[in-house]
Amino acid sequence: MTNNGFPSSASVSSDDFPGEEPARVTIDLGALADNWRLMARKSGKARTAAVLKANAYGTGLEPAARTLYQAGARDFFVATPQEGAALRPLVPDGRIYVLSGMWAGSERLFFAFDLVPVIASSEQLAVFMAAISEHGDHPCVLQIDTGMNRLGLTVAEAVALADDPARPASFSPVLIMSHLACGDEPLHPMNRMQLDRFRAAANAFQGVEASLANSAGVFLGADFHFDMTRPGIAVYGGAAVNGEPNPMKPVVKAEARILQVREAKIGEGVGYGASALLSRDSRIAVAAIGYADGYLRSLSSAGVPLRQAVVSGARGYLHGHHVPLIGRVTMDLTHFDVTDLPSGTVHAGDFIELFGPHMPIDVVSRAGGTIDYVLLTSLGPRYRRDYIEAAR
């Protein structure tokens, strides 16, 4: 059906117009698989899980799950039972753990999709006990809080539970786990303290597997590996450890189309609030990307008082050069200062790399006073998504 010569909107998708997108992300599944294998090697004797919460850190649940399964992962962590239900058909024989645990009203999802709850509190334990008495035996994980004060039983509660003679024989956790608060700072005393507390809890559950390390924990060494590691951000190419070179391959490249290149005079202002005042005659490239795409406003070069980390703001990568963001990031548009590129190099229609192989995501996130986890999980729906398949 057409009206006035246009296809009806119901039959049109942006996929019908390749090459016309305002912005694109390219996700390198080969790098994803290589990163997981590197974490598996670094995990030594421990088994290595894959963490697929939040749409696989924004990279896309289906391609990430398929790739990591092919690389050898069989243990998968998600945040919610809904994420677990979406993952189940992608990894039919995988074990899926739900980090937020089982709350009253969510029980049926765990049984219907064969999901393993990571029990976070004694209330959740009671919900789980009631659920297995109704639906039958089911595996679970016990989360122990060893100092983060987020989720988990206290060590004392865990030890008491292990010794409880009234504990039903059918209740047998398949894993004891905890989470590090300061793993990204290798010398932080919390790491040792949490390790000692976790050992005490794990010892109370002899014969049950144990897991402590996220990505940063994998880098802390063999003491932290136990039976299973749970690397997330490193597998997606992020920097797990502060202040050290990032050994992971970049997985995500985000690029935006330049809509216009304009000349502006010394003394003029750029963008909302005229927050950037030009100290020279300048050439400015306006890119089709903004905070509605998850390119955060805190990446702005000026006029964002809350950001303390890197006063100069983010940069992009264009025609072999790093170029500074200038002015404030707006909802759909961002300015870059391309004055230092030879005139005639930058054109409308070019794509500028926001982060990726030439513009490390951890550098960009620091410029925005945030972390790479945030940039990845904020990638908005306007990006076209392309996947580079892993070699098999």
Ligand X SMILES: *Cc1c(COP(=O)(O)O)cnc(C)c1O
Asked if 146 touches ligand X (CB under 6 A), the answer is: no
φ and ψ at residue 10, rounded to 5 degrees = -65, -30
Annotated catalytic residue: which of 69, 272, 373, 387? 272
Decide whether 57 or 110 has the Cβ nearer to ligand X.
57
Inter-residue contact 380 to 25 (CB < 8 Å): no
Q: List residues forming the annotated binding site.
A: 150, 331
Say how many residues touch ligand X, by CB under 6 A: 12
Per-residue exposure over 131-157, b if at least 16 CB sit within 10 Å of its own CB, e if not: bbeeeeebbbbbbbbbbeeebbbebeb
Segment interacting with ligand X (CB under 6 A) among 158-166, 214-222, 273-281, 340-348 = 214-222
| In 70-153, beta strands by DSSP E | 75-78, 95-98, 115-119, 141-143
- Number of residues that make up the chain: 392
Q: Is 99 in the site for ligand X (CB under 6 A)?
A: yes
Known catalytic residue: 272?
A: yes
Is residue 253 annotated as part of the catalytic site, yes or no? no
Contact between 233 and ligand X per CB under 6 A: yes
Site string for ligand X, 154-193 (x = CB under 6 A): -------------------------x--------------
Which residue, 76, 217, 101, is CA-closest to 151? 101
Q: Which is nearer to ligand X, 78 or 127 (CB)?
A: 78
Are 349 and 255 spatial neighbours (Cβ–Cβ below 8 Å)? no
- Cβ contact 218:234 at 8 Å: yes
Is residue 231 at the binding interface for ligand X, with CB under 6 A as the rule? Answer: yes
282 is a contact residue toward ligand X (CB under 6 A)? no
- The answer to whether 52 contacts ligand X (rule: CB under 6 A) is no
Q: What distance in Å separates the CA atoms of residue 392 and residue 389, rounded to the nearest whole number?
A: 9
Q: How far is the CB of 355 from ligand X (least distance, A)?
A: 17
Nearer to ligand X by C-beta: 107 or 145? 145
- Rounded Cα–Cα distance for residues 113 and 107 (Å): 10
| Binding of residue 42 to ligand X (CB under 6 A) | no
- Could you tell me if 373 and 184 are in contact, meaning their C-beta atoms sit under 8 angstroms apart? no
232-240, 276-284, 306-314, 318-326 -> range binding ligand X (CB under 6 A): 232-240
Question: Which amino acids are annotated as binding site for substrate, given as ranges?
Answer: 150, 331
Q: Determine the Cα–Cα distance for residues 303 and 221; give it in Å rounded to an integer.
A: 42
Q: How far is the CB of 284 from ligand X (least distance, A)?
A: 36
Residues that bind ligand X (CB under 6 A): 51, 53, 99, 179, 214-216, 230-234
Residues annotated as catalytic are 53, 272
